[in-house]
Every structure is written in C-alpha cells, then in structure tokens.
Chain A
C-alpha cells in the first residue's frame, strides 16, 4: 500500500521537531504574482501547539495573504515560515486550509458530500479512490456540522452559512493538526455561527491549533488565546482596550 503521508507532488512526511511551535513566521514578506509591492511586510507570528489565535484587521490588511503563505499557496519573498519546526510543504497534509467562499465555483455540478470528501484527497494521492474510512470520517464531520440533510444537494443550492459549514467540514475531514481558517464566520447566520464556534472549541479541546482570520472583534476575548492585529500588511498595536491575550506577534518570546 502507498504511504498515506506521501501526497500529491511527492512531498514527504516529516516528523515535527520536538518542542517547536505549531507555527512560527519570522519577519515574513509575501505578495501576489504580477504585483510589485508586498501584500504583507515583515510580519512575525508564533502560535504554540494547541492555541487558538486570531488575525484581526480590515479587508486588505494582509490576513488572507499570511494564511496563504503558511498554506504554501504564495511564495515568501523574505523571512521564514516554519510549521512544527519544518519548512512549508514538508508535511502539508497536517495543515488544513479553509478558503473564503469566493475561491470556489459554486455552480459546479458536485454534491455537498463530494465537496467535503475532497478534503480527504490529500491522504489519497493519484489513482486511489476514497475508501470506507474516508466515507466514515466524512459522514461523522457532516453530522457534527448539521450537513447530513443537505448531503446530496448541489453545492450552489446551499445558503451562505451552509456553504461555509461545508467548507469547514472539508477542512476538518483532512484531520490536520494546524487549521488555517480564513473568515469562517463572515456573513453567516446566527445558527451557523454557534455551530462553528462549538466545533472550534471541541477541536481545541482535542489539541488542534487554529489560526483564524477575522474582522469581528466582539467574540475575541472568549474564544481566542491571542491575537495579531494587521493593517496594510504590517503588524499594528491593538487599539486601547482591545483584546490582547498571549503575545503572538513581534512581542512573542522567540524560542527555538
């Protein structure tokens, strides 16, 4: 049997460096192809394993750029990113990425169940089809997120909140250790918000690490361990009285 940790592109599994934080970004600058200036300048972030950290800032502040750089979707122009002590891509099956809804072609003829199942592909690679274990994981996560009654619907027939839950379900079936969530609570209904918050708390209880981009400050204190404030691609001080929590940015203790 094929090693499930050998995903597409033959990037090999690498064990975590003992004691390393889940995510360490040091003075990272990154930008999009075809644009000269960086969308992210000299940003540092340290997220201990098991922590839940928020990236806070308005649209265009660099939250998505930072998540994409960590997910390996954007090259880093300077600085360094380490995930469990390893370079980006060394064990990317352990990193689950939740994109914003706009990245997906929702008119495509695919059911909710199949969309969620694509989260397992990272463990399958070429030629292998989803097996019983994959189907079980998919069914369980869909049940947790209240998607079971919608399983056979075409993805475009879902409401915004349901689409968001479907994407989160896909990120969760990957069973990664570091979750990068880009605006998971953006423009969703109250019920979805509650479901997602509950699921995220449960994940943290199971030792998962989460980095969540958000522009919603109201929920921070109760849900996060720390926050990195971004504006125009740079780290900024939180406004007086804003949630601070653990230092995770420039001020974080840089160990290892």
Chain B
C-alpha cells in the first residue's frame, strides 16, 4: 500500500488533492441542479466566458480568480438580461455571449505573442495550485454549498414547479439568477483544477451518473459528490504515476464512472423487468 501514501509526501500533491476534493464536491453537488434543470449548455458557456477575465487579470497583474469572478458573474447576469421576457431565446443569448467572450479571451492572449503561459487556464494544472488559491477555493466552495443548503427548498420547488412557486410569491427568475451566479463562482473555483475547456465535465458528468442510479435528490447529491471526489483523487494519482495531464485524467475518471452508472442502470432495469414479469 506504499504507493497510496508515496505521493502524499509532496506538498503540491497535498494541496492538489485538497483542491480537487473541494472543487469536485462543489461542482458535483451544484451539478445536480445543472442536470435536473437542463442547464448543461449554460454551464459550459459560463466556463468559457471567464477566459477573458483570467487573461485580462493576468496581463494587468491582478488576481486571476478575481478577474474570472467578475467575468463569470457579468456573463451570468448578461445572459439573463438578454433573454428576459422572450426578447431572445435563451440558448441563442448564451451562444452569442459565450463565443464572443471566448474569442475576446483568445484575442487578449494573442497580444502577448505566446499561448504557452495560458495553457494552464485552458486545460488546468491542479498541481500548480498554491495555498493562497486554496483559501479562495475554500471560500467559494463554502459560499456555494452554504447557499444550496439554506435555499434548498426554494431551489427544489422552482426546479420542478416554477408555476406553483410563483403562485406563492416566490419569483423563480430570482432563484435562477442566483443559481447562475453560483455556477460562475463554481466554475472559477474549478478552472485551475481542470481548465475552462473541461470544467463543465465536473458539473455535468458526476451528476448525470448519479441521476441514473437514484430517484432521491439528497442521495443524488451525495452520489454525485462521491463520484467527483473519487475521480479527482484517481485522476491525480494517474497523473502522478503515468505523467499525464491531471485535468484530462480527472475528467476521464468521471466519464468512466458515468459508464459504470449506465451499466448499473441497465442491470437494475433488467432485474426490475425480470421480477415483474
């Protein structure tokens, strides 16, 4: 069992593991709402739109994650505003905003003449996370999970019956805005782990896998978080021992879990049919 503890002697592995667990857990729990409310597209879009924030902050010598938060929240509110009351269909508003922001990020990158410095933004580098980033990630994770806990009943109700929510004076739109802001904060927290290109995998894949094997919301959140944490750790170890990109390894571990969940689902249904026949 020495191989399990061997990587832990390095501080960068300790920091990386802690960051992965925090980010993976947060993404996976919030991701359950992303999956159940069919917000996969906007999750992916928000991830891409924080790129110009990251690059601008880098060029100006400011805090990277701060720049990302500003860009993410601005996009979340912008998409909500563009698609208010049916002015534009929401997926159209998302498509326009996200490609524009991503292009702006690439444009800013190209002004430096080299994309090399930015590869960790695109693809993540969880082993490059320093303790100061870890503090910010923890704060974001606490904020997101705290919000989900405190407003669980409102989030749940507006997800499956927005009409009833409105009939009691609870504006489903406000909850939606809140969720979009949380989503952008989560994306920012996760971007260092897996990068802007792959972050939506952490949001969607574990939650999608969990939705295949259970019919209870709290259990779905727990399973989703467990899958994400397991995948994070497995991906990091794979990256350590086989010297492959950590972000991609984490995402592929999630995808594998999803494959397993699909098989479990098929078996469950087969058994269900067998017993009822």
**B-contacting residues of A (Cβ < 8 Å)?**
7-9, 11, 33-34, 71-73, 89, 92-93, 95, 97, 99, 103-105, 108-111, 114, 118, 121-122, 124, 126-127, 129, 154, 157, 170
Q: Contact check, A33 vs B85: say whether CB atoms are below 8 A apart.
A: yes
Q: Contact check, A71 vs B153: say whether CB atoms are below 8 A apart.
A: no
Q: Contact check, A121 vs B153: say whether CB atoms are below 8 A apart.
A: yes
Count of B residues near A, CB < 8 Å?
26
* The residue from B153, B167, B168, B216 contacting A129, defined by CB atoms under 8 A apart: B153
Residues of B127-158 at the interface with A, using a CB-CB cut-off of 8 Å, are 150-151, 153-154, 156-157
B215 within 8 A of A: yes
Besides the known contacts A109-B217, A154-B216, A157-B215, 17 further A-B residue pairs in the complex with CB atoms under 8 A apart: A9-B171, A33-B86, A72-B167, A73-B167, A89-B169, A92-B167, A93-B168, A103-B161, A103-B163, A109-B211, A110-B156, A114-B156, A118-B156, A118-B161, A122-B168, A122-B169, A126-B151
Q: Contact check, B216 vs A111: say whether CB atoms are below 8 A apart.
A: yes
B214 within 8 A of A: yes
Nearest B residue to A155 via CB reads: B160
A121-B170 in contact given A33-B86, A108-B36, A109-B36 (Cβ < 8 Å): yes
Q: Contact check, B160 vs A104: say whether CB atoms are below 8 A apart.
A: yes
Q: Contact check, B167 vs A109: say whether CB atoms are below 8 A apart.
A: no
Residues of B248-277 at the interface with A, using a CB-CB cut-off of 8 Å, are none
Q: Contact check, A103 vs B170: say whether CB atoms are below 8 A apart.
A: no
**A-contacting residues of B (Cβ < 8 Å)?**
36, 85-86, 150-151, 153-154, 156-157, 159-161, 163-164, 166-171, 211, 214-217, 220
A97-B167 in contact given A108-B36, A110-B156, A154-B215 (Cβ < 8 Å): yes
Q: Contact check, A127 vs B150: say whether CB atoms are below 8 A apart.
A: yes
Q: Which 3 A-B pairs have the closest CB atoms?
A: A108-B160, A9-B169, A122-B168
Q: Contact check, B168 vs A92: say whether CB atoms are below 8 A apart.
A: yes
A8-B36 in contact given A109-B215, A126-B154 (Cβ < 8 Å): no
Q: Contact check, B169 vs A105: say whether CB atoms are below 8 A apart.
A: no
Residues of A within 8 A of B214 (CB): 109
Nearest B residue to A129 via CB reads: B153
Residues of A within 8 A of B163 (CB): 73, 99, 103
A108-B159 in contact given A33-B86, A97-B164, A99-B164 (Cβ < 8 Å): yes
Residues of A within 8 A of B36 (CB): 108-109
